């Protein structure tokens, strides 16, 4: 494989790079005063579905910092909306659906409309034309398990018991739901790629609520189908496996080209287990960004030293950046990663 003109894509493909590329999960969010200003005037849904606004918000962190990739501004819960389930963002609660899934007929009724995504696809083309060619645009979707957790509860939950009991009690119905989410996600990913994204990340933020045994049988096959589809398009696939990062052999079965890891594991240990079968993205504890620059430098050095040779590493946090982070700390983080990894 030949080097592209994007350092982020080269690292995904485990090609030699001059330094470790960096982007930050949830980089276009509430810790930025300019995000909060736009959000005062526009609803979250307007920001996702107005191409100019979607592009403007996506570009906020790119204009402010020297990041190597943009991630399109959207949400994993657009998939339930494309299937007919709408949500509202409720302050201090998070996304709340008008109606959660209560019974079998609610699952039968789910009916995918690709038309729902048309403004998102326009937004992607616009972002790609506004973004420097050397920077990558990351598209994304949720893993079916993580998305289904929200569809059953109707809102964020501390344990997602409803989906867990559905899969145990009614596995056939569970499969019907997962097939609908998976097929919708594959169509959505095709649209994102056609519109111009350069890589796709699958967020499995609720991966931790499923047992290892159940994961292999009830979550992995759907993730694998999506990842195989992304791989068939020659676009790097990134699987963010929150809570599953000590089960490397299990998550490697997704066949993802990049594994995104949370902050609970040592990146060097992960690298030794992965043995060049995937590139690795991560994994600074997001709470480090609330500490002094001296601590940030120390914790970043630990990750870089633990990883060793910088090929196949994409620097990121181990989960999304939180609203209370000072943007100056983000700037320091990016500079220090570049300084410490430059050849």
Tell me which stretch binds ligand CP3 (CB under 6 A): 6-14, 27-35, 159-167, 326-334: 27-35
| Residue from the set 38, 44, 190, 255 that interacts with ligand CP3 by CB under 6 A | 44
| Residue from the set 51, 156, 221, 268 that interacts with ligand CP3 by CB under 6 A | 156
The tokens of 255 are what?
């066949």
Tell me which stretch binds ligand CP3 (CB under 6 A): 25-33, 188-196, 297-305, 330-338: 25-33
Alpha helices (H) in 196-315, listed in sequence order: 212-214, 220-232, 248-252, 267-274, 293-307
The 10 Å CB-count burial string (b at 16+, else e) for 98-137 is eebbeeeebbeebebeeebbeebbbbbebbbeebeeebbb
In the complex with ligand CP3, the residue whose CB is nearer, 110 or 147, is: 147
Full strand arrangement of the beta sheet holding 258-260: 69-71, 136-142, 199-203, 237-240, 258-260, 279-284, 313-317
Q: Which of residues 198-257 bind ligand CP3 (CB under 6 A)?
A: 203, 205
Residue 62 interacts with ligand CP3 (CB under 6 A): yes or no: no
The per-residue DSSP string of 129-144 comes to HHS-TTSEEEEEEE-H
Distance CA 81, CA 278 (A): 32
Element (H, E) at 173: helix 171-195
Q: Is 26 a catalytic residue?
A: yes
Q: Are 271 and 252 in contact (CB under 8 A)?
A: no
From 26, 64, 164, 277, active-site residue: 26
Q: Is 75 a catalytic residue?
A: yes
- Please tell me the count of residues contacting ligand CP3 according to CB under 6 A: 22
Residue 51 interacts with ligand CP3 (CB under 6 A): yes or no: no
Q: Is 204 a catalytic residue?
A: no
Residue 325 interacts with ligand CP3 (CB under 6 A): yes or no: no
* Interface map 89-108 toward ligand CP3 (x if CB under 6 A): x----xx-------------
Active site residues: 26, 30, 39, 75, 150
Residues near ligand CP3 (CB under 6 A) = 25-30, 39, 44, 71, 73-77, 89, 94-95, 140, 156, 203, 205, 320
């Amino acid at each position: 494989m030949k080097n592209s003109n994007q350092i982020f894509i080269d690292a995904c493909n485990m090609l030699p790079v001059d330094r470790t590329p960096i982007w930050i999960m949830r980089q276009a969010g509430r810790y930025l005063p300019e995000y909060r200003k736009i959000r005062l005037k526009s609803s979250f849904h307007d920001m996702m579905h107005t191409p100019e606004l979607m592009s403007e918000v996506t570009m906020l962190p790119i204009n402010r910092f020297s990041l190597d990739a943009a991630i399109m501004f959207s949400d994993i819960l657009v998939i339930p909306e494309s299937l007919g389930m709408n949500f509202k963002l409720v302050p201090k609660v998070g996304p709340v659906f008008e109606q959660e899934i209560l019974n079998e007929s609610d699952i039968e009724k789910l009916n995918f409309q690709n038309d729902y995504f048309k403004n998102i696809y326009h937004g992607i083309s616009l972002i790609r034309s506004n973004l420097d060619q050397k920077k990558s645009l990351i598209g994304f979707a949720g893993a079916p398990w993580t998305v289904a957790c929200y569809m059953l509860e109707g809102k964020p939950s501390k344990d997602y018991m409803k989906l867990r009991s559905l899969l145990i009690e009614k596995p056939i119905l569970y499969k019907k739901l997962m097939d609908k989410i998976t097929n919708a996600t594959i169509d959505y990913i095709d649209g994102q790629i056609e519109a111009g994204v350069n890589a796709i990340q699958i967020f499995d933020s609720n991966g931790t609520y499923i047992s290892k045994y159940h994961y292999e049988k009830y979550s992995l096959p759907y993730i694998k189908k999506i990842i195989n589809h992304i791989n068939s398009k020659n676009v790097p696939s990134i699987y963010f496996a929150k809570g599953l990062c000590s089960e490397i052999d299990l998550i490697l079965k997704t066949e993802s080209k990049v594994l995104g890891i949370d902050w609970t594991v040592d990146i060097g240990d992960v690298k030794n287990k992965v043995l060049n079968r995937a590139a690795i993205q991560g994994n600074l504890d997001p709470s480090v960004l609330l500490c002094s620059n001296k601590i940030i430098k120390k914790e970043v050095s630990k990750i870089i030293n633990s990883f060793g040779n910088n090929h196949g590493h994409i620097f990121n946090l181990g989960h999304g950046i939180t609203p209370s982070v000072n943007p100056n700390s983000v700037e320091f983080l990016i500079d220090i990663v570049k300084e410490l990894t430059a050849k």
